[in-house]
A and B are shown apart, each in its own frame.
With several copies, the nearest count.
Chain A
Amino acid sequence: MQDIFEVKAQVTTQEKVGPDCHLLQLAAPQIAASARPGQFVNVACSRQYQYDPLLRRPLSIYRVSPDTGIIELIYKVRGRGTELLAQKRAGEIVAVLGPLGKGFDIHEGTSRAILVAGGLGVASLMFLAQELAKVALGKGEEPYVHALIGGHSAEEIICVDDYSALGSPVKVHTWITRARLEQELEKVLEELSEQGVKTNTCSLYTCGPEGMLRRLAAWAQEHQMLCQVSLESHMSCGVGACQSCICKTSAGTGNTLEDTWKYSLVCRDGPVFNAEEVIWDE
């Protein structure tokens, strides 16, 4: 099993990147060195021995730089925890535990990767896009990654420049509203079919609101794409000890409950799941 590090990380940068959205850079060399795309960290937002809020907040690893030992997080200010986090200035210390969870699988055999991010979903897919861009270096001319980045409104679409900066292997599309996303996906399909790419050789990776994940999982199945979704759940420990962060998945083998389903732990068995394992709430 991968080691997990509790790091008293110094803030190197805190900056606004969108409405209520912040980029936080932290010096956490052990995490930067070992994290994989789709993993997350559990961040203490209050100061040491300050108990309000008590629990840490799970945030995806946006990007890492193993050379400088920096990890980057992108987060939206929502409640007590993220409000305090947004007040941290360069030089202050933030305790972070990570890397946590099971990230995305990169299927070397895939001919195209489609990434769909809704809202803060961009935070969990950037690192993946980066790694996929590396994989793509050996591949053909066409963009290997189609990143479809969206949100409720134009201004909520964030981080587009970072994705674009990955260069030719990545093609960035943006969308607002569900209808627009479907159009964008259709366009990607057309492009792929023009290029003679079969959809069943593509992988779909997605992170965002549950409704979106669910529709995309169905869409991917329809097109026989491999599909991985990154889920969220209320957490406390982040390491698989407290069993707070459950989601329903198909039981698989070795299930002794003689049931068709089981509760998996988002923090340990996920947050990334193969879409076909997930049993969505009705």
Chain B
Amino acid sequence: MNKQTAASATGTSVDLRVEMAGLVLKNPVMVSSGTFGYGEEYSRIYDINRLGAIVAKATTIRPKHGNPPPRVVEVVGGMLSCCGQQNVGLERFISEKLPFIRTLSVPFFANVAGEIVDDYVFIAEKLCAAGGIAALELNVSCPNLQQGGMAFGVDPAAVKEIVAAVKKISSLPVVCKLTPNVTDVVAIARAAEEAGADALSLINAPLGMAIDVETRRPKLGNVVGGLTGPAIKPLALRMVWQVAQSVSVPVIGIGGITTAEDALEFIIAGATAVQIGTANFFRPLAPLEIIAGMEDYLKKHGLDNIKELRGSLELPPARGGH
């Protein structure tokens, strides 16, 4: 088997381990839900056990066709996509995907999506029972069918309800993944923390749109889709920084991360770990390059441990000139 390695030599002197939600990750570099399949695909390119953790594509109770094409359109600095949670459904996830996942030595997170609170609870119960999963990431960006279709994730009360309900039955750590399409991400983060979330991950994709001016039709089959990639990094970093200051559970930074420098920005802003998403598509070895780049950075700055960097942002003195 071909296991490509990142360019940079990886010495042994620095410690990239991070603890999160009762787990120890060998490094803070995870890959994000929906951008890494179930790991099989990328295991054809490199040894995915070198990652900090892997998050699976969203699992819903029933299998889903997902949205009609086109599902992806390139935009400046990013892409819009609307896969509509095409997935094999809970049953086949357990019967077809878990066996491969159990062969891995890397923590594997399931990503749970539903339309009513009970969906989350149902899936969580089955996954806890199935074994092979390290943690649950709750995708609360889905439309809340009980509340008129606005996403669960924009309403602190709904987020609280989902997280509390899942925590009650879950034997696995629970990560709540936050949507950026909100006025006050900190309020949502606090609601999730109060409900017992073991960690928070953010951001999911901001909603965007593109139009083909020749046909005057939306460029996406689903009209709107998630904006991801480098274009959203500044937005994501701002939200991670705000949340990390306001909660005491670990925060996982997500959004446009492509280079080690990007990842380090999130850690300096207070993230415990990061997830790589869209970069997997255009730089398939990005996660390995980021791990290597983090090691190089720590060495260069005389740090032994990635934890020393977490939340080390130095703010300017009180601002003059107003």
Check A-B contact in the complex, CB < 8 A. Answer: yes
Taking beta carbons and an 8 Å cutoff, which residues of A are in contact with B?
1-6, 30, 44, 49, 51-56, 95, 97, 233-247, 256-257, 259, 262-263, 268
**Residue in contact with A246 in the complex, picked from B57, B64, B66, B91, CB distance below 8 Å:** B66
Indicate which residue in A49, A236, A240, A247 contacts B81 across the interface (CB closer than 8 Å).
A236
Q: Which of B124-132, B185-193, B198-206, B281-289 lies at the interface?
A: B281-289
Of the candidates A44, A97, A235, the one having the most CB atoms from chain B within 10 angstroms of its own CB is A97
B residues contacting A by CB (< 8 A) are 1-2, 4, 34-37, 40-42, 44-46, 57, 62-66, 69-74, 76-79, 81, 83, 86, 88-89, 91-92, 229-230, 258-259, 278, 280-285, 321
Distance in Å: Cβ of A251 to nearest Cβ of chain B:
10
With A6-B4, A246-B66 in contact, is A234–B72 under 8 Å at CB? yes
Contact of A5 among B45, B91, B278 (CB under 8 A): B45
**Least Cβ distance of B174 to chain A in Å?**
25
Assembly CA distance A174 to B89 (angstroms): 48
Residue of B nearest to A238 (CB): B281
Q: Is B36 a contact partner of A244 (Cβ separation < 8 A)?
A: no
A-side contacts of B36, CB under 8 Å: 241
Given contacts A4-B44, A51-B230, A257-B63, contact A241 B280 (CB under 8 A): yes
Q: Do the beta carbons of A256 and B71 come within 8 Å of each other?
A: no
**Distance from B99 Cβ to chain A, minimum over Cβ atoms (Å):** 15
Closest 10 CB pairs of A and B: A244-B72, A3-B2, A241-B37, A237-B281, A236-B281, A239-B41, A4-B44, A243-B83, A240-B41, A241-B41
CB–CB B81/A244 < 8 A: yes
Chain B residues near A243: list those with CB within 8 A: 34, 57, 66, 71, 83, 86
Given A236-B281, A242-B83, A268-B41: A256 touches B92 (CB 8 Å cut-off)? yes
B35 with A241: CB separation less than 8 A: yes
B77 touches A242 (CB 8 A): no
Which of chain A's residues have a CB closer than 8 A to the CB of B88?
A: 256
19 examples of A-B residue contacts, CB within 8 angstroms: A3-B2, A3-B45, A6-B45, A6-B285, A30-B2, A51-B258, A52-B76, A52-B77, A54-B79, A54-B278, A236-B79, A239-B41, A241-B36, A242-B281, A243-B34, A243-B57, A256-B88, A256-B89, A259-B65
For A243, give the chain B residue with the smallest CB separation: B83
Q: How far is the CA of A128 from the CA of B167 in the complex (A)?
A: 55
Q: How far is the CB of B82 from chain A (nearest CB, A)?
A: 9
Among B44, B46, B77, B285, the residue within 8 A (CB) of A54 is B77
- Identify the interface centre among A234, A241, A247: most chain B CB within 10 Å of its CB: A241
Instruction: Give chain B residues whose Cβ lies under 8 Å from the Cβ of A95.
Output: 283
For the complex formed, measure the closest distance between the CB of A265 and the CB atoms of chain B, giving whole angstroms: 9
Q: How far is the CA of A257 from the CA of B91 in the complex (A)?
A: 12
Main secondary structure of the interface of B (DSSP, over half): loop
Q: Which residue of A lies closest to B87 (CB)?
A: A243
B208 to chain A, nearest CB (A): 14
* A3–B44 touching, CB < 8 Å: yes
Could you say which residues of chain B place their CB within 8 Å of the CB of A56? Answer: 281-282
Q: Do A246 and B41 contact each other (CB < 8 Å), given the known contacts A3-B2, A54-B282?
A: no
**A20 to B2 Cα, complex, angstroms:** 36
Contact of A242 with B35 at beta-carbon distance under 8 Å, contacts A236-B79, A256-B89 already known: yes
Q: Is the CB of B282 within 8 A of A257?
A: no
Shortest CB-to-CB span from B84 to chain A, Å, is: 9
In the complex, A4→B258 CA distance in Å? 21
In contact, A242 and B86 (Cβ under 8 angstroms): no
Q: How far is the CB of A210 from chain B (nearest CB, A)?
A: 12
Specify the chain B residue showing the minimal Cβ separation from A255. B63
Q: How far is the CB of A271 from chain B (nearest CB, A)?
A: 15
Of the listed residues B62, B74, B321, the one surrounded by the most CB atoms of chain A closer than 10 A to its CB is B74
CB-defined contacts of B278 to chain A, threshold 8 Å: 54, 236
Report B-chain residues with C-beta under 8 Å of the C-beta of A52: 76-77
Known: A3-B2, A239-B37, A244-B70. 6 other contacts (CB 8 A): A234-B69, A240-B41, A241-B280, A242-B34, A243-B71, A256-B89
Cα of A51 to Cα of B74 in the assembled complex, Å: 11
Contact A51 B70 (CB under 8 A): no
Neighbouring A residues of B66 by C-beta, 8 Å: 243, 246, 263
- Distance of A244 Cα from B321 Cα, bound (Å): 15
A17 CB to closest chain B CB (Å) equals 26
Which residues on B sit within 8 Å (CB–CB) of A3?
A: 1-2, 44-45
Nearest-neighbor residue (CB-CB) of A262 within chain B: B65
User: CB within 8 A of B45: which of A4, A49, A235?
Assistant: A4
Within the assembled complex, what's the spacing in Å between the Cα atoms of A228 and B118?
Answer: 45
Looking at B42, B91, B280, B281, the one whose CB has the most chain A CB atoms below 10 A away is B281
Closest A residue to B45 by CB, please name it: A4
Task: Kindly name the residue among B37, B45, B46, B284 whose own CB sees the greatest number of chain A CB atoms within 10 A.
Answer: B284
Chain B hits for A247, CB < 8 A: 69
In the assembled complex, which residues on chain A have CB atoms less than 8 Å from the CB atom of B37? Answer: 239-241
Known: A244-B71, A244-B72, A263-B66. A55 touches B284 (CB 8 A): no
A246 touches B77 (CB 8 A): no
Specify which chain A residues have a CB less than 8 angstroms from the CB of B64 in the assembled complex: 257
Which of A4, A238, A246 is the most central at the interface, judged by chain B CB atoms within 10 Å of its CB?
A246
Interchain CA distance A262-B69 in the complex, whole Å: 13
- Determine how close the nearest CB of chain B comes to the CB of A221; give it in whole angstroms: 24
> Could you tell me if A1 and B40 are in contact, using CB atoms closer than 8 angstroms?
yes
- In the assembled complex, which residues on chain B have CB atoms less than 8 Å from the CB atom of A235? 72
